[in-house]
Structure 1
Amino acid sequence: MSVAALPPVPHYNAAPPTKADLDYADLATIDLSKMESAQGRARLASQVRDALLTHGFFYAINHGYSQSQGNRMFDIADVPFSCVGDEEKRSYSDIDQETGWYQAYKLRQYWHIDAGVRDQLEYINIDRNVHKQGHPEALRPFLPEIEEFARFNHGNVLFAILRLIALSLELPEDALVKIHNCNGLGEAFVRFIKYHPRSAEDEQKTKNVWLKGHTDSGSITILWSQPVAALQILGKDNKWRWVKHVENALVVNAGDAMDFLTGGYYKGTIHRVVQPPPDQQQHTRLGVFYFTMTDGDVKLVPFYGSPVLQRVGINPRCENNVAPTMLEWRRERANGYGRTELRPSREKGVEEEVINGVVVRHYN
């Protein structure tokens, strides 16, 4: 598709990067341009292993998508929020109880955050096969670009990361790629999220937390870095640290499925969203994500054949005979989040819910 053929899109004015002195997490940077040689992949696999064991998050750079392409995708990401009315949003906001899939909006004030305060974020899910769902009228001219963006994330980024993770486990390089065909609805999708500022009263009631500390339900999450500081990760020292914006970088993290598949070796990373620093608090925060899961029928049991896992010891989250499939896990996580009653944990500031016999923790 030539540049001249692209439909016009309103420009989204992002906030300037914050000047606040924040305690940033020291995340590794993985240079995907070094994937071409076996030697380069071996070095990157070692770096990915260390990054996932240390923070569970890392940056990916030199991924092959230009800054101008990324800027346009952020412009497109704002369309379903700024150019679509509330009534049309509601017509695309049902949730499929069988799959846990939003068709396609999650509207504001749907989730309970804390102390009677409901969320102020809205998002839209777009399956990587854009023809599997309906779309608001304003977004339809951009569907070819969104589908191409999904293909890029899946083939150029996700598969590269999965190959590196497989190598880090001393598995065949395509071991994880093989279970990420993602042909079912909601197994891999683009998500655009827009966070809106909240009242001072709501900030006080929730201690400035916009989204409680949690893990993602899938295998790998790809976040396209944007300037509003709000994302924090929980370190092994139980301190929350900010994730710094890096221009045209990807922020990558592991989720629950990776935890299941590696027997707790690569744990789902605990992260949250909080109120931005003062110089960004009057701005909306627009996020562009690519969420991935294994194929829905994959049973979430460890790769027992991994020599690495055999050496370090495998600690499955549940017995193999009761392990959920990916579809079962994401359905329960999606249907319960923000709507089920959480119980206090023995850990301070932690609440729990039980899904398929597995304890899921939420961190305040």
Structure 2
Amino acid sequence: MPGLIDRYAEVTPTKENLDWAELITLDLSLYEQPGGKAELVNQLDHAVRHVGFFYVKNFNIPQEEVNRQFALGREFYALPLEEKLKYHNAADLERGEYNGYRPSGRRNIGNEVKDNIQVYNIPKFDGYHERAHPAVVQENIKEIEEFSRKCHSEVVVKLLCLFAILLELPDEDQLVRDHLYDVKGEDHLRYMHYAARDPEENKKVGELYVSGHTDLGTVTLLFRQPVAALQILNSEGEWKWVKPQDATITINTCDALTALTGGLIKSSIHRVHAPPADQADVDRLGLLYFARPNNHVVLDPIPNSPLLNRLGLTTNAFTQLGQHLTTEEWVIARQSQQQRPKVEAKILNDGKYEYNEKDLEIIPGLAAKYYN
């Protein structure tokens, strides 16, 4: 029955003195106040142009609801593997279909070490992604849908309006109309599980769970994870730890938004490091929401942005190849590349990752980038 799930117990935060990133925090309670949007845009401007990471607080989703989603994720990962595998389809993954369950160990990262990440993606409830779910998810599906919709309405929509103001668009809802929840799109809620690794295995893969990369959509919402692991590459080329801040969501901007803004808004570069010593034996549970433009949206630079036109930002990596990709085409191409099962890095003694160039090809002339 719905509701009969133990409360989520948060992991004790690290006490280690890590090299934390300095990120701004947007107070979304200002959004409806006179002059509040302008103040938020001023704060946002530098962050999205140079780092692509920031926090938001006062986002109208109670902590109890966030914790409830962590509890549901915990219960999903506690299921026997054979039960979870009922919701896994390897052929779908390789075709770029990313919803459902992805087990760990599908890929060799390098040096004969397999990945330690499990993923369960729940697509947005737009009527185009009907799927079967295990009982723990299905019995709570209305609650999950409500949370998914709140991620969109309370956070994504407000950020899209702020981006539109930053871009000087004539209508602050222009980007919102390209990201409507009930129009077909590839947004999804994710429960994610990183299993703690043996120190020797971590050493073989440069102490990384995931190497440096960018996300493919508009923005990613990462709800607070007390296990320190996320790192960002700042504008000085330094890797910094992202501190789990109480009552915040960590936001990063992504590839589709970079394409729409001709490179003005940075697609944030981040990686997942093995946790610090006092959390090294703790599994990391993630709760994320990935927002993407609706499937029909063409990812050309926005033509009616006075700011982009003034700066001459009228092309992007797609248009320079003569491509005018829709979101759906981009998602399928990028996710297919990400899920090639035989991709394996050569990991050097200094922890740098090197990939075969062909393994990184997304479309002819455009390859994925991994950052060391």
Q: TM-score, normalised by structure 2?
A: 0.90
One-letter identity of the residue aligned with 2:270: H
Query: Is the CA contact 2:8–2:70 (under 8 Å) kept in the aligned structure 1?
Result: yes
Aligned to 2:214: 215
In the TM superposition, what is the alpha-carbon distance from 1:213 to its structure 2 partner?
0.7
Contact 2:318 2:325 in 1 (8 A): no
The question of whether the paired residues in 1 share the 8 Å contact of 2:222 and 2:249 is answered with yes
Partner of 2:349: none
CA distance 1:148–1:53, shift in 2 (3 Å): same
Greater strand share, structure number:
1
Pairwise mapping of residues 265-276 of structure 1 onto structure 2 (< 5 A)?
A: 265-276=264-275
Counterpart-to-counterpart distance in 1, 2:298 and 2:42: 27
Measured after TM superposition, the shift of residue 138 of structure 1 is 2.3
CA distance in 1 between partners of 2:191 and 2:183 (Å): 20
Identify the residue that residue 142 of structure 1 maps to in structure 2. 140
Give 1:139 shift: 1.9
- Alignment match, 1:318: 318
Does residue 1:197 correspond to 2:193, yes or no? no
| Residues 94 and 336, structure 2, Cα contact 8 Å, conserved in 1 | no
Q: Matched residues in 2 for 1:104 and 1:185: separation? A: 17
Distance 1:68 1:57, change over 3 A: same
- The amino acid across from 2:87 in the alignment is Y
* Deviation for aligned residue 1:146: 0.7
Structure 2: which 5+ residue stretches go unaligned?
Answer: 347-351
Partner of 1:90: 85
Q: Residue 329 of structure 1 corresponds to which residue in structure 2?
A: 330
The residue that corresponds to 2:304 in the other structure is 305
1:112-127 mapped onto 2 (5 Å cutoff): 112-127=108-123
Could you tell which deviates more after superposition, 62-71 or 161-170?
62-71
User: How many pairs were matched up?
Assistant: 356
- Paired residue type of 1:354: E
* 8 A Cα contact 1:99 1:330, kept in partner: no
Query: Are 1:110 and 2:90 matched, yes or no?
Result: no
C-alpha distance in 2, partners of 1:249/1:49?
19
Farther-moved stretch of structure 1 (23-32 vs 175-184)? 175-184
| Structure 1 residue ranges, 4+ long, deviating more than 6 angstroms after superposition | none
- Aligned positions of 1:148-163 closer than 5 A: 148-163=146-161
Q: Is the 8 A contact 1:183 1:295 kept in 2?
A: no
1:1-364 counterparts in 2 under 5 A? 7-37=3-33, 39-82=35-78, 84-95=79-90, 96=92, 100-129=96-125, 132-171=130-169, 172-183=171-182, 187-314=186-313, 315-319=315-319, 321-337=322-338, 339=340, 341=343, 351=355, 353-356=360-363, 357-364=365-372
How far apart in 2 are the matches of 1:139 and 1:36? 34
Q: Take 1:301 and 1:279, find their aligned partners in 2: how far apart are those partners?
A: 46
Task: Point out the more displaced range, 199-208 or 131-140.
Answer: 131-140
What do you get for the CA RMSD once the two structures are aligned? 2.2
CA distance in 2, matches of 1:112, 1:296: 32
User: 1:177 corresponds to which letter in structure 2?
Assistant: V
Partners of 1:211 and 1:16 in 2: how far apart? 23
Q: Deviations over 1:45-70 (max 9, x none)?
A: 12112211131000000001122222
Give 5+ residue unaligned stretches, structure 1.
Answer: none
Deviates more, 1:103-112 or 1:6-15: 6-15
Counterpart amino acid of 2:155?
V
The one-letter code matched in structure 2 to 1:170 is: E
Partner Cα distance (2:63, 2:167) in 1: 33
Deviations 1:255-311 (A, max 9, x none): 110110000111211100010001111111111000011111211100122111122
Q: Could you list the per-position Cα deviations for residues 68-96 of structure 1 after superposition, in whole angstroms to 9, with x for gaps in the alignment?
A: 222222111212101x2211211111153
Q: 1:94 to 1:338 in 2, by over 3 A?
A: closer
Query: Taking structure 1 as the reference length, what is the TM-score of the superposition?
Result: 0.92
Matched residue SS, 1:132: coil
Q: Deviation digits for residues 238-264 of structure 1, max 9, x if unmatched?
A: 211000011120001111101100001
For the structure 1 residues 86 and 75, does the alpha-carbon distance in structure 2 shift closer, same or farther, using more than 3 Å as the test?
Answer: same
Contact kept, 8 Å, 2:94 with 2:339, in 1: the verdict is: no
